[in-house]
């Protein structure tokens, strides 16, 4: 106690302060530290739960992202295949149309050639008739007498047939 007196402290005051400090410590523990500790524990639990939820949501979002990437890749592949099919179909259509156009052109050419042959035959017949008429007219002028028109035509036709056969 003498040490307390040397320091200028009264033991009764010190005892009252110690008791007061212990009571205050007990009160703080009972009404402040306990509830604050419980609040901190519940907050820690809530934060952990939210972090777990966030991790689950992030994992789910990653899974959805991967599924969407797979879907997009599948859609892109399907679009590529459809484009290839469309190109192939267009090529086939083009080839079919070209073949039809060639066939039509060939038919038109054949009809034109046939028409030319008919026109050539008709022109040849007209020429024969004109030559026959000219020959009859020339023969009538030369002979001065008219022969039977049918006999003249037959004679000239026979002559032209022989001439044609010789030229071939």
- Domain definitions of the chain by residue range: 2-167
**pLDDT value for 28:** 87
Q: 152: phi > 0 → left, psi -120 to 50 → alpha, else beta; which?
A: alpha
CA dihedral 62, 68, 73, 78 (to 10 degrees): 160
Residue 146 has pLDDT above 60, yes or no: no
User: Which single residue is written with the structure tokens 């079919």?
Assistant: 96
Confidence class of residue 141 from pLDDT cuts 50, 70 and 90? low
Q: What percent of the chain has pLDDT over 90?
A: 54
Average pLDDT of the segment spanning 93-116: 94
Reported as a single tens digit per residue, the pLDDT across 45-67 is 999 999 999 999 999 999 999 99
Q: pTM, whole model, 2 decimals?
A: 0.41
- Contacts by residues 136-143 (CB-CB < 8 Å, ≥ 24 positions apart): none
């Amino acid at each position: 106690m003498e040490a307390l007196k040397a320091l200028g402290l009264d033991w009764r005051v010190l005892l009252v302060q110690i008791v007061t400090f212990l009571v205050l410590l007990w009160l703080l523990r009972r009404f402040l530290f306990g509830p604050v500790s419980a609040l901190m524990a519940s907050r820690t639990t809530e934060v952990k739960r939210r972090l777990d939820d966030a991790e689950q949501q992030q994992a789910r979002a990653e899974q959805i992202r991967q599924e969407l990437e797979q879907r997009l890749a599948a859609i892109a592949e399907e679009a590529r295949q459809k484009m290839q099919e469309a190109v192939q179909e267009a090529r086939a259509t083009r080839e079919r149309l070209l073949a039809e156009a060639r066939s039509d052109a060939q038919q038109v050419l054949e009809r034109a050639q046939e028409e030319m042959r008919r026109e050539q035959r008709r022109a040849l017949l007209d020429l024969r008739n004109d030559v026959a008429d000219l020959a009859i007219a020339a023969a009538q002028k030369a002979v001065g007498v008219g022969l039977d028109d049918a006999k003249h035509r037959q004679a000239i036709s026979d002559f032209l047939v022989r001439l044609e056969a010789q030229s071939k």
